[in-house]
């Protein structure tokens, strides 16, 4: 099911529906008997433990205050049954009759609860309290998830007061239990069975570092968590291989003037750079406008520099929630103009500048091209959009079939938008974010484009849809999907063959644009 009305990413009903989508997809893997069923059940148990307790602490008291006391109590009874079934699942193993019976009952119980909650209770609650209250409750819901136990406790009180009195102690006990059983070492992996072995190993390495779920943390807490780049280094360490970054001729950090102050800029010069001005690529890192830095995407920049023979410039744009939309977009546009105006000083050719980026970096690359075109300024020779965000809406089947993906799942995507657009409720519909809303005539002048997507990614379908829009506008476009890999795979070329292949494909696209006649630009 899906909510039958529009929401904003931080609204409590939006966050609840995201949780439902994740668990439903995990149920589908379990029913199909694919992937690692033990890990899947452990992840479901973790998700439902946090979700149920947070609802009991935050949503159900608010529903009772709004005149939905019966509905709140009915939902508590549903949770009680779920918690009892989770205890059975935690104490039995896949294949055992008791396990399989409990799993079937859990799936049926949760699906009935979700249908009632999304179809009746949440719509009525929104009508009763209004969107502002739902946004306030959304923040409380995430805060509650950070505080609640990580296992089901069917014998504990399910009321708001009982949770506040007992949750801290129960959580402390649960954390010890997680350490003792090793459960924390696989909660952040992808147990669906959909990834190829190399990609699976990266996510297993990421999970082994025991990151907390980004999507329930405060931004400063989330920024201290392990990153996909750390997972790549761990795989290299485990193999006894050097973890030094791919060598380039030079890396220089500098700062430039930007619309909100100084912008950090990192400049990579490729190995074997010969005489004469080099082409330049402005490469924009991802992280949902909230997480990550140029350091996280260092491997991508080094790979692009050496494979293209181009100078790569990567901006450290402002991040949310300290600087919400459109701060990051403004910084990227300013950096592109600086690169264009200072290309010769960098050793580059101002007539051969391309642009690209990963995730929201891909969004900002395309948005920069559109802004330049609108202002009559010269466009880049080409653009590369790697698993780009192209709309603020939950678009396409990938929001369902990859709702549970890692490292980017549907709840994390909403969490990022919640912080990036805080106080700017129309940001998601702004054409700089919602590229799918841009009219065909405005897309017609875009440079030759390569769109790279991946199978296990909630952004997959919107990236491919944008490629279709470009094609309809007459833009030379190539759409390339890499199956068996996940969001953030592109920079993992040191340990993932498909990442090396994708970087090579991106480099070939860029090199063709650098050698095309000037009139073609």
Give the pLDDT confidence of 251-273 residue by residue, as tens digits: 999 999 999 999 999 999 998 87
Query: Can you tell me the distance from the alpha carbon of 293 to that of 316, in angstroms, rounded to the nearest whole number?
Result: 6
Residue 397: CB partners within 8 Å, gap ≥ 6?
Answer: 461
Q: What is the pLDDT of residue 517?
A: 61
Q: What is the pLDDT of residue 468?
A: 98
Dihedral sign (CA 37, 38, 44, 45): positive
Among the listed residues 381, 383, 372, the one whose alpha carbon sits nearest the alpha carbon of residue 452: 383
- Helix H or strand E segment including 38: helix 37-54
Asked if pLDDT for residue 518 goes beyond 80, the answer is no
Band (pLDDT 50/70/90 cuts) for residue 164 is confident
Comparison of pLDDT for 328 and 276, the residue scoring more: 328
Band (pLDDT 50/70/90 cuts) for residue 157 is confident
250-516 CATH choice from 3.40.50.1820, 3.30.70.270, 3.30.70.660, 3.40.50.300: 3.40.50.1820
Q: Which of 182-186, 264-268, 465-469, 489-493 has the lowest mean pLDDT?
A: 182-186
Query: Can you tell me the distance from the alpha carbon of 312 to that of 79, in angstroms, rounded to the nearest whole number?
Result: 53
Polymer length of the chain: 521
Q: What is the pLDDT of residue 520?
A: 47
Query: Can you tell me the distance from the alpha carbon of 370 to that of 443, in angstroms, rounded to the nearest whole number?
Result: 7
Q: Are 320 and 420 in contact (CB under 8 A)?
A: yes
Residue ranges covered by each domain of the chain: 12-187, 250-516
- CB half-sphere exposure, 351, CA atoms < 13 A: 8
Angle at CA of residue 364, ends 359 and 369, nearest 5°: 135
What is the pLDDT averaged over residues 448-468? Answer: 98
How far apart, in Å, are the Cα atoms of 9 and each of 260, 398, 420?
Answer: 26, 17, 10
Band (pLDDT 50/70/90 cuts) for residue 177 is confident
Asked if pLDDT for residue 99 goes beyond 80, the answer is yes
Residue 415: CB partners within 8 Å, gap ≥ 6?
Answer: 9, 142, 214, 215, 216, 288, 290
Helical ranges in 55-130 per DSSP H: 60-65, 69-90, 97-116, 122-129
- CB half-sphere exposure, 443, CA atoms < 13 A: 23
Dihedral sign (CA 470, 471, 475, 478): positive
- Per 3-state DSSP, the chain is made up of helix, strand and coil in percentages (nearest 5) of 55, 10, 35
Query: Can you tell me the distance from the alpha carbon of 283 to that of 304, in angstroms, rounded to the nearest whole number?
Result: 9
Block residue for tokens 């709309």: 391
The number of angstroms, rounded, from the C-alpha of 72 to the middle of its chain's C-alpha atoms is: 32
Query: Can you tell me the distance from the alpha carbon of 211 to that of 227, in angstroms, rounded to the nearest whole number?
Result: 9
How far apart, in Å, are the Cα atoms of 156 and each of 80, 159, 341, 521?
Answer: 10, 9, 65, 67
Strand partners, 452: 386, 480
Q: Are 449 and 476 in contact (CB under 8 A)?
A: yes
- Just list the catalytic residues: 359, 457, 487
Block residue for tokens 């991946």: 454
Residue 505: CB partners within 8 Å, gap ≥ 6?
Answer: 450, 452, 480
Q: Model pTM greater than 0.85?
A: yes
Longest pairwise C-alpha distance within the chain: 77
Which burial class, exposed, middle or buried, applies to 143 when counting CB atoms under 10 A from its CB (0-12, 13-18, 19+)?
middle
Query: Can you tell me the distance from the alpha carbon of 505 to that of 493, in angstroms, rounded to the nearest whole number?
Result: 12
Per-residue pLDDT reduced to its tens digit, 390-447? 999 999 999 999 999 999 999 999 999 999 999 998 999 999 999 999 999 999 999 9
Q: What is the pLDDT of residue 174?
A: 78
Q: What is the pLDDT of residue 277?
A: 95
Query: Can you tell me the distance from the alpha carbon of 358 to that of 361, in angstroms, rounded to the nearest whole number?
Result: 5
Helical ranges in 262-378 per DSSP H: 298-308, 327-341, 360-374
Do the strands 250-258 and 261-269 form a parallel or antiparallel pair, or are they unpaired?
A: antiparallel
Band (pLDDT 50/70/90 cuts) for residue 521 is very low
DSSP reduced 3-state for 246: coil
Residue 104, token pair as written in the block: 């079937």
Asked if pLDDT for residue 237 goes beyond 90, the answer is yes
How far apart, in Å, are the Cα atoms of 42 and each of 96, 142, 186, 199, 217?
Answer: 16, 21, 9, 21, 20
Q: What is the pLDDT of residue 178?
A: 83
Residue 231, token pair as written in the block: 């997972």
- Helix H or strand E segment including 463: helix 460-472
Q: What is the pLDDT of residue 172?
A: 85
Comparison of pLDDT for 174 and 488, the residue scoring more: 488
């Amino acid at each position: 099911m899906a909510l039958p009305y529009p929401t904003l990413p931080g609204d409590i009903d939006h966050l609840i529906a995201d949780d439902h989508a994740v668990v439903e997809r995990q149920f589908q893997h379990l029913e199909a008997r694919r992937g690692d069923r033990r890990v899947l059940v452990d992840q479901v148990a973790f998700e439902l433990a946090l979700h149920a307790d947070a609802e009991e602490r935050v949503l159900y008291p608010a529903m009772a205050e709004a005149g939905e006391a019966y509905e709140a109590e009915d939902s508590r009874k549903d949770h009680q049954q779920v918690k009892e079934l989770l205890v059975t699942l935690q104490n039995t193993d896949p294949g055992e009759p008791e396990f399989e019976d409990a799993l079937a009952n859990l799936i049926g119980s949760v699906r009935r609860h979700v249908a009632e909650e999304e179809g009746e209770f949440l719509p009525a609650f929104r009508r009763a309290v209004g969107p502002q209250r739902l946004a306030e409750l959304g923040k409380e819901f995430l805060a509650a998830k950070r505080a609640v136990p990580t296992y089901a406790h069917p014998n504990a009180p399910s009321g708001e007061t009982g949770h506040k009195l007992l949750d801290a102690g129960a959580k402390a006990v649960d954390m010890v239990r997680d350490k003792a059983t090793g459960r924390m070492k696989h909660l952040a992996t992808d147990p669906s069975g959909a990834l190829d072995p190399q990609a699976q190993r990266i996510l297993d390495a990421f999970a082994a570092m025991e990151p907390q779920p980004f999507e329930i943390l405060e931004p400063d807490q989330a920024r201290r968590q392990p990153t996909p780049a750390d997972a790549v280094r761990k795989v290299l360490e485990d193999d006894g291989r050097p973890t030094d970054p791919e060598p380039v001729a030079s890396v220089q950090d500098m700062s430039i003037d930007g619309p909100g102050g100084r912008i950090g800029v990192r400049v990579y010069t490729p190995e074997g750079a010969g005489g004469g001005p080099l082409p330049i690529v402005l490469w924009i890192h991802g992280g949902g406008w909230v997480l990550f830095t140029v350091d996280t995407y260092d491997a991508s920049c080094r790979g692009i520099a050496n494979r293209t023979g181009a100078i790569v410039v990567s901006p450290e744009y402002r991040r949310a929630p300290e600087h919400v939309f459109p701060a990051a977009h403004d910084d990227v546009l300013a950096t592109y103009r600086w690169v264009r105006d200072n290309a010769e000083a960098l050793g580059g050719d101002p007539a051969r500048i391309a642009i690209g980026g990963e995730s929201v970096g891909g969004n900002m690359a395309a948005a920069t091209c559109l802004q330049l075109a609108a202002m009559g300024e010269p466009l880049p020779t080409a653009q590369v959009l790697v698993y780009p965000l192209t709309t603020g809406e939950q678009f396409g089947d990938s929001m369902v079939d990859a709702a549970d993906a890692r490292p980017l799942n549907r709840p994390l995507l909403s969490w990022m938008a919640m912080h990036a657009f805080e106080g700017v409720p129309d940001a998601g519909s702004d054409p700089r974010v919602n590229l799918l809303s841009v009219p065909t005539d405005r897309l017609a002048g875009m440079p030759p484009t390569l769109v790279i997507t991946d199978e296990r990614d909630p952004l997959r379908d919107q990236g491919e849809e944008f490629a279709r829009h470009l094609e309809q506008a007459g833009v030379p476009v190539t759409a390339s999907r890499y199956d068996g890999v996940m969001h953030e795979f592109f920079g993992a070329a040191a340990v993932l063959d498909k990442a090396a292949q994708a970087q090579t494909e991106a480099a070939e696209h860029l090199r063709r644009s650098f050698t095309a006649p000037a009139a073609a630009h």
